[in-house]
Structure formats: C-alpha cells, structure tokens
Chains A and B, each alone.
Chain A
Amino acid sequence: MSSLRLFLENSITFFNLLILSYFFLGNGIYTILMLLSLRATWIHTRRLAYQGLDALRGSPLTPPVTILIPAWNEQDVIVNSVRSALQTDYPGLRVIVVDDGSTDLTMDRLVESFHLLEMDGAYRPSIPTAPIRAFYINPEFPNLLVISKVRGGKPDALNAGINLCRSPYFCNLDADCLLERDALLRLMDPIVNSAAETVVSGGIVRILNGCETRNGRVTKVGLPPRALERFQVVEYLRSFLFGRTGWHLLGGTLIVSGAFAVFHRATVMEAGGFCHDTVTEDMDLIVQLHHWAADNNRKIRISFTSDPVCWTECPSHLTMLARQRRRWQLGLCQTLWKHSEILFGRKYGIVGWLSFPFHSYVEGLGAVAEFLGYLLVPLGILLGLVPPSFLVVFVLLGLIYGSFLSVGAVLLEELTYRRYPRFRDLLTLLVFAVFENAGYRQLILYYRFQGVLKFLAGSRRWEKVAHAGANA
C-alpha cells in the first residue's frame, strides 16, 4: 500500500513539475513574442504610409500570381469567394477553382454564376493527383479557370491547381474566405522587396462573422453577436498579431495559414507539393520546406505580414468548433511526428532548436499536460502533496496570465490596425480578452485533448466544418 502511495506521490510530483515547466515555458515565450511583435507591428503599420503599392501595381516586372481555390461542398460560399478573388487588385492575376468532387451544387452554382463552358483541356500533372473530370472557362473571364476532379482531399486539389498554374507564385485561398482588394499586393510586397529568397508569404486571417459584406467584399467591420464567436476574434488576434509575427521575427515560422498565403511554385514543386498524410497540409508544407531547404543547403525565407487581410467565417456552434480544433490538433501532432528529426537538428537552426521544440512541447504535448493538470493537481491536494493555497494561487496566476496575453493582443490591434472602429467594440474585446481564460480556454483544451487522442488512435479523418453562411 505504501509503495503504491509512493509511486502515486512521485508521479504526481513529476507531473506537477511538468505542468510548471509547461506554464513557464509557454507563457514566457508568448510574452517574448508579444513584446517583439508590439514594436515590429507598430513600426510596420507606420511604414504602410510609404510602402509603394502603386509602384508594385504599375510595374511590368511584378510577378504574376495565380489564386488557387480548392472547394468541396461549398455551395453557399463559393460564388462570393471567387468573385472576391477576381476583384483582387493585382496585375497578372489568374484564378483557378478546383472542385474536389463536390456532391452538392458547388459546380452548378459556379457554372451558373460565371456562365462557364465546359472545354476540352489537357492535363499534364507534375505532381500526381486524382483524375480531372472537366475544365470550364468563360472567354469573358479570361483569367478564371474552373476544374472539376475526382475527390482526393484538399491537398490533392491544391496539387491539381499547382499543376495547372503557370505563374511563378500561387496563393491558396480557402473557399469560405474573402480577400481584401489589395491583400495580394501587400502579400507580394515582402517577396518583391526582400533581398533574401522569400518562398512563402503569409497574411492575417480575420473573422468575418458580424461583418457586412456585398459582392464578395467586406463593407463594414463589426464584432459577431455570439460570445463563442467573439472569443474566437480575440483568439485570432492573439494568434496572428503576436504569435505569427513573433515567430517570423525570430525566423522560426512553422505555421502559415493555409486559408491565405502565397508560395513560390517551383520551390513547392521541388519540395513535393502538398502531402496527403496529415490533415493540416499548410503546416505540413511549411515544415517540409524547412526540411527540404536544410537538406539541400538552400537559404529560404518564410515571411509573415499582418496587413494583408483575408476574412474567414469562424464556427458559430460548438459542434463545428470542436471539429475544427480537433483537426488542427490532430494535424499539428501528425506534422510534428512526421518531421520529428527536425527536433534539435543542428542544420535546422532556430527552427530545430526553438520553434519546433516549443510547438512540440507547448502546443502538442501541452494539450495533454494542461488537460491532465486539471485532474491531477486536485488529486495532489487530496493526497496532501500540494498545498491548497498554492493551487488557488497557481490557477489564478494561469488564468490571469492568459488574460494578460489576450489583452496584449487587443492592445496590439488597438495600437496598429484598429479594425473595429467603435469604442464599444474595443471595450467588448477587452472584456472577452479578460474572460477568455475562464471557460473558453478549457473548452478548447478539451477539444485539443480529443485531437491528441485521435492522433494516438491513428486517425486521419478530415472533419468537415460546415459554414453558417456569413459569406453567403
């Protein structure tokens, strides 16, 4: 009996130490990222006054870009998204929509809205994909090509788009997203004006729920009505404004949103294109690019800028939110496991020594540690291993530190882009930032924990998130 108790005590003590290290490492690095981003984003917004987008727009040397829109059962949103992509202000723009074997009216809506004609096309795949069923064009929209293919998943649809793409760069855009008019110009700016070889350029994804739209454009920015959506607004601000910016400044970007990013086509093809073996093909490709660059002794730059904006619809119901977060966590675990040799690999630099370990420990294992922490720490109190006062203080510290980071993200938004113009919006965001960690965070943690369990069970199932139609 005493040996069992000793074992339990040791386990719980070990686990408590693990939680403490997770807490300090995670929050410590997030604080560093926040401080780095505060300065960099503030400077960046000031620089926009002399950014020179007109020169980029007018130059015949600006590289052409193809927007790839993979779509599977997106009948409610696809027309607006394609319209938004076609209206994008960029010289030499082409749009390729890849219908990945939709079983709803996605194709019909496209054919009807854009008066498409089926044509006899040839398909020369450099990256193997599922077969193409049909090509559709309309000579009145010479820069639009729609293809219908046999279902092969989002990575397969993107690979088909890459095979058909002729421009040196392509931009992948989710079918439920709306681009701001100058988003692509802003996204290409770091590629054109950087002396380093920039192969990926990512932008910010903002939440569309609560905004007014017309003809594929956001006409009025506002906060969504539901608390669940508002929490996600704060979460996205934190993730993009200081998470992604901070990692970009440190040179350790591992995630660029697959909803909206520009890639150098030849480099992506050399790296093998989008892979099918994870459910987060965007993160997988970025990690794959780091891998490929290190193996081939190539210096590449992955850029993130916070001014090119793409609006997306966030889940407004718990079921959809659960599906989305489980998939993200599952994809994260799959990608980290698949590329585990990067961990502390000498040739991977900051990615191998900081970014990858951080994502593995804090983002990957952290979901398990934090979830079990909520169960095991009270057990430690029951067994008398942890003083109750410590638990109270520590839980409060965890909650308030989370609020501190979320409020920091709202402040960053306030100091820079100020997209939510009403004073009431700011106050609402601050309130939701403060209370995000009391309830919402735990809910997300539960879904992330489920994602880890799915990974351990070897699941590869893509959970489809249905849209409520904010973009419809």
Chain B
Amino acid sequence: MVNQTDPVTHWALMMLVCVLIGTCLLVAVAIFRRRQQIRYSGYLRSLESNYRPILATLLSGRYTAHGINTLRELPLADLELLFDPLFSAGGVGQKPVAVLQALCAELGLIRLWQHRLTTGEEPKTRRGSPRGTSLHPPASSLLHLLLRAKSIRNLGILRHQPSWPLLVRALDDPHPDIQSVALRSLATIRAPGSFPALVGRVHAVVLGKSASPSPRALKAALACFDLTCSAALLSSLRHPHRRIRILATDILRVMVCRDAALESDFLLRPEVCSPGIAEILLTNLCRDPSAEVRGRAAEIIAFLADPRATSVLYKLLFDPQWYVRLRAVRALANLRHSTPYLLLGIRDCLRDSHWRVREAAMQTLIALGRRGRQQLYEYFLTSQDQATREQIVEVIERSGLMASLVEGYGEGAGGVEALMVEQFASEAAPLGLSGVLRMSNPHVRQQFLERFLPVAHFKMQLQEETSLEASAGTGLQQVLEFPSVLAA
C-alpha cells in the first residue's frame, strides 16, 4: 500500500510507528504505576497494622521498653513512613507534641532530620538507609529535596527549639521550597533568637538583596512570634524605606491585636511592649509620610495604655487620607473608647466624604454599645443627608439590630429607638422591617402591631389631610398592607 519510493510517506510511516510505540509505552507505564501503587499501599497498610498500635500506645504516654525496641528495629525510612501521617495536615494535635518529640528523639528521627539539614546527605548506616524497603525508589536529587523539606516541616511541627539555628541556615538554601518550609517552621517554633534573623531577611527582600521568601510569607511568619520580641522591630520601624516601615508596622499590629485580645480590658500590658515601641508609635509613626503606616499605627495605638493615645487617635480620625481615617475609626470599636470626646469624633465621621469611612463609623458606633447607638440614631433622625441615612439603614439591617429595635418597640421602649422604628416603617426601611416582622415570633409581632397600628392610622389621616407627597404615602402603605396580612 505504501509507496516505498515516496520519502514523505516513508518518513510519516516511521513517525507513525514511533508514536504508536510511544502510546503503548505510556499505557504500560500507567498500568505499571498503578500496580506499583497498589503494592505500595499494601505495604503501608501492613506497616500500619503491625506498628500503629504500638505507636498509639507510646503516644498516649505509656512508655514501654518493648514498644520502643520494636520500633527501633525498623529501618529509619520505614519509621518515617509510619510517622508521616502524624505530621501531615491536621495529623498532630496540640497535646501529644511533647510526647511525639521525645519519641522521635528516642528513635533517632530528630537526629536524622538534623543530619539531612546539616550535611544535605542521607546517612550511610543500614538503619539510616533511605532504602528501607525494596519499594522505595533511590533518593534522587529531587526526592532528596522533598525529604529535606519534610524534615524541616517535622522539626517545626515538633517545635524543636534546638533546631532553630539550622532552620535559619536553611533560609539561605537556593531552593525556594526549602526557604518557605524553613520559614513556616521557624514561625511555629517561635524561638526568640531567630526573630532578628527573620527581620534581617525582610530588609534583604525589600531592598532587593534576596528574591525569596515572599514579603507576605515573611510577614505572616514574623507575626507569629511573641510580642516580647518586638524590640527587634525598632530599627525597621525607623527605617527610611517606606515598605520596610509598612511591613514592620503590620507585623507589630498583628502581634499587638493578638496579645491585647487576651487581656480583659483589651489594653496592652507595658511589660510586653517595649517603651521604645510605644514612643515611636505616638511620636513618629502616627505622623509618618506614608498613609499605610499611619493607618496601621492607629490600630496599634488603640490598644496602648498611654494617656496620649486618645488625642493621637482623635487627630487620625481627621487625617487627609481616607484610608487612615477608615483604620482609625475601625480601631476605636472597643468599649474603652466610648468617651464623649471620641464619640463626637466618630459621629463627625458619619459626614465623611468617603462612604467606607462613614460605614466604618456606623459599625463602630454600634459596637460601642448604648451610647454609641444613641449617637447613631440621633444623627439618623436629624440628618438631611439621604445617602447617609440609607447607609445607616443598611448597616442596621445587616448587623441584625433591626430585630432588637422591633422587639424593644413592642415592649414599649421610647425615645430615639421608638422614633427610629417609626421612621423605618414610614419611609426609610420598609423592606427590612417587614422581613424582620415576618421572621419574628407571633408574640413580638402582636406587641409591635398593637403599638404601631394606631400610630400608622394617625399618620395616614395626617397624610390625607395635608396631602403629603405620594412617595412617603407609598412607603407607609406598604408597611400597613403587611400587618393586615399578618393579622389575618
């Protein structure tokens, strides 16, 4: 069929044969790999069924010499396989870390992992041979990289403090994967000695002296450390490079928020935050040329016990940059800041030119309890600014405050709360109000209607007499239609 003299056909035929062989080869490899995987899974299962009960006993804290000796007889590679599920995502809880660490040390695993990091090689002993079973492939450079990365991960999960210098050295590894895992392990171990080294790495990355790890990963790692380490951030907070100051302020912000949240009054204890840090925040960073630094500083200042903090925060509420005002007003969402002075400042933010600042001010006033809500309601009832009024309605509905207002109204609450409900019903929020009424229990609904219907009828009469504009009438009509259905 094929013309032997036609070179193109001949060439295409050769190619066809090659591709056909290639396809058959791929099929064979896929089947072979699946078979290999089935064998490997079987081997893992047998390893687990034989040794997992012993491991479970040891991890429960019941130390038996027989158990340890049985595990010691296993090649290190098999031991690693046996322990690996414990180190995988979610495999190890908070409690058995100390026991697991002791067990790994006893069985020589920690030494093996440290050895991999120090020398970059596999141990040569029989126990240390990576070929624990015939199923393991030889340790190629790629596989060795994976083994090193897993070793670093394991040391981190075990919070093995003595290993931190090795992990800091691993940050200089040419492979970015090793750097990332080392960084995460250092963040888990949180050894104070490693903090300055990581700060130095931030400087190097920002100044372009090092390409990895990413600034975001470095920031996340540093933020895990204890606040007592923050003194090492001073040089970064004073650094002329804007990005370094931003990163340092952000790291400090996360540390401060975490520590302050543990205190009953959300105030930072002076002994955990160095005086130098507080000083630089209140004098330099709140006036930093970068809005991002000022905004982040505002969030930290809100947790300082320093008497100057209030006036600094008040000034930041009126910063020229909306982003700073937003951060400052959000930072004040803590009962400690519900002083008349700051409340007025936050209320002024309801007039802010940026809608996100206005929204944050509303949320802050709601978070500040009764006094804050009073300010918000008063503003709503007196303001002529329709856009802000709509925004207040939206925030009240989203926060779930509408339900408590309706309940309070039914129970006879007066003052601005009652006026707010009547305003909502007549024009401002008919949809939200009817939705809340629909979902509330019949008793609350009945109480609400008993009080509201006479007011509504009176308003209707008044509208008819004075021939008010149609839009207000329509709103009221909608609300009135709904209760009649409910009453039925």
A46 CA / B205 CA spacing, docked (Å) = 27
Q: B356 → chain A, closest Cβ, in Å?
A: 8
- In the assembly, what is the distance between CA of A62 and CA of B219, in Å? 10
A-B contact pairs, 13 of them (CB 8 A): A53-B89, A60-B257, A117-B438, A119-B431, A120-B394, A134-B431, A194-B214, A397-B16, A407-B27, A418-B34, A423-B38, A426-B31, A434-B23
Q: Which residue of A lies closest to B393 (CB)?
A: A120
Which among A193, A387, A396, A426 has the highest number of chain B CB atoms within 10 Å?
A193
Q: Is A54 an interface residue (CB 8 A)?
A: yes
Quick check: B149 and A61 within 8 Å, CB to CB? no
A6 to B312, CA, bound (A): 89
| A60 touching B258 in the complex, CB below 8 Å, given contacts A49-B88, A389-B9, A408-B26 | yes
User: Given A46-B146, A407-B27, are A120 and B3 also a contact pair (CB < 8 Å)?
Assistant: no
Residues of A within 8 A of B429 (CB): 120
With A404-B22, A407-B30, A408-B26 already in contact, the answer to whether A195 and B214 are too (CB < 8 A) is yes
Cα–Cα distance between A43 and B150 once the two chains are bound (Å): 14
Shortest CB–CB separation between residue A91 and chain B, in angstroms?
12
Q: How far is the CA of A134 from the CA of B387 in the complex (A)?
A: 17
CB neighbours of A49 from chain B (8 A): 84, 88, 146, 149-150, 153
Are B15 and A397 in contact (CB-based, < 8 A)? yes
Is there an interface contact between B211 and A195, defined as CB atoms closer than 8 Å? yes
Q: Which of B399-455 contact A (CB under 8 A)?
A: 399-400, 403, 428-432, 434-436, 438-439
Report whether over half of chain A's contact residues are helix, strand or loop; otherwise say mixed: helix
Bound state CA distance, A46 and B177, in angstroms? 11
Please determine whether B432 and A119 come into contact, CB atoms closer than 8 angstroms: yes
Give chain B residues whose Cβ lies under 8 Å from the Cβ of A54.
89-90
| Sample of 18 further A-B pairs with CB below 8 A, known A49-B84, A60-B254, A122-B390 | A43-B142, A61-B250, A118-B434, A119-B397, A119-B435, A120-B428, A120-B429, A121-B397, A192-B217, A195-B211, A389-B1, A390-B8, A393-B13, A396-B16, A397-B15, A411-B29, A414-B34, A427-B31
Q: Looking at the complex, which one of B19, B33, B400 makes contact with A397 (CB distance below 8 Å)?
A: B19
Roughly how many angstroms separate A118 CA and B215 CA in the complex, as a whole number?
43
CA distance A135 to B34 in the complex (A): 51
A29 at the interface (CB under 8 A from B): no
The CA of A189 and the CA of B471, in the complex, are separated in Å by 51
Measured CB to CB, the nearest residue on chain B to A427 is: B31
A195 to B184, CA, bound (A): 16
Given A50-B150, A390-B8, does the pair A426, B177 have CB atoms closer than 8 Å? no
Please give, as numbers and ranges, the residues of chain A lying within 8 Å of B393 by CB-CB distance.
Answer: 120
The answer, yes or no, to whether B66 is at the interface (CB within 8 Å) is no
The reply on A392 being an interface residue by CB < 8 A is yes
A121 close to B9 (CB less than 8 A): no
Q: Is A390 within 8 A of B390, CB to CB?
A: no
Counting CB contacts under 8 A, is A139 at the interface? yes
Given the known interface contacts A389-B1, A393-B13, the answer about A59 and B26 at a Cβ–Cβ threshold of 8 Å is: no
- Per the CB 8 Å criterion, the residue count for chain A at the interface is 53
Any chain A CB within 8 A of the CB of B12? yes
* Pairs A-B, 9 closest by C-beta atoms: A117-B435, A139-B400, A50-B153, A195-B214, A59-B220, A404-B23, A119-B397, A411-B30, A397-B16
Residues of B within 8 A of A61 (CB): 216, 219-220, 223, 250, 254
How many chain B residues touch A (CB < 8 A): the figure is: 76
User: Across the interface, which residues of B come within 8 angstroms of A122, CB to CB?
Assistant: 387, 390-391, 394
The residue in A137, A139, A408 that gathers the most chain B C-beta atoms within 10 A of its C-beta is A139
Nearest chain-B residue to A56 (Cβ)?
Answer: B220
Is A55 a contact of B30 with CB atoms below 8 Å?
no
A50 and B27: CB pair below 8 A? Answer: no
> For A389, what are the chain B residues with a Cβ–Cβ distance below 8 Å?
1-3, 6, 9
Instruction: Give Cα distance in the complex from A394 to B439, angstroms.
Output: 70
Known: A407-B30, A408-B26. Is A47-B146 also a contact (CB below 8 A)? yes
Q: Which residues of B contact A298 (CB under 8 A)?
A: none
Question: Which of B15, B184, B430 is the one whose CB lies under 8 Å from A55?
Answer: B184
Contact with B along A97-139 (1 / 0, CB 8 A): 0000000000000000001011111101000000000100101
Q: Across the interface, do B8 and A137 meet the contact criterion of CB distance under 8 Å?
A: no
Produce 1/0 per residue, A210-251, CB < 8 A to B.
000000000000000000000000000000000000000000
| Chain A residue with Cβ nearest B90 | A54
Residues of B within 8 A of A434 (CB): 23, 27
Q: Is A415 an interface residue (CB 8 A)?
A: yes
Q: Nearest-CB distance from B290 to chain A (Å)?
A: 18
Residue of B nearest to A58 (CB): B224
Q: In the complex, are the beta carbons of B23 and A403 less than 8 A apart? A: yes
Kindly provide the distance from the CB of A25 to the nearest chain B CB, expressed in whole angstroms. 15
Say yes or no: B220 contacts A192, CB within 8 Å.
yes
Interface-central residue, B1, B34, B258, B429, by most chain A CB under 10 Å: B34
Given contacts A49-B146, A50-B149, A397 and B12 within 8 Å (CB-CB): yes
Closest to B142 in A: A43
State A49–B152 Cα separation when bound (angstroms).
Answer: 12
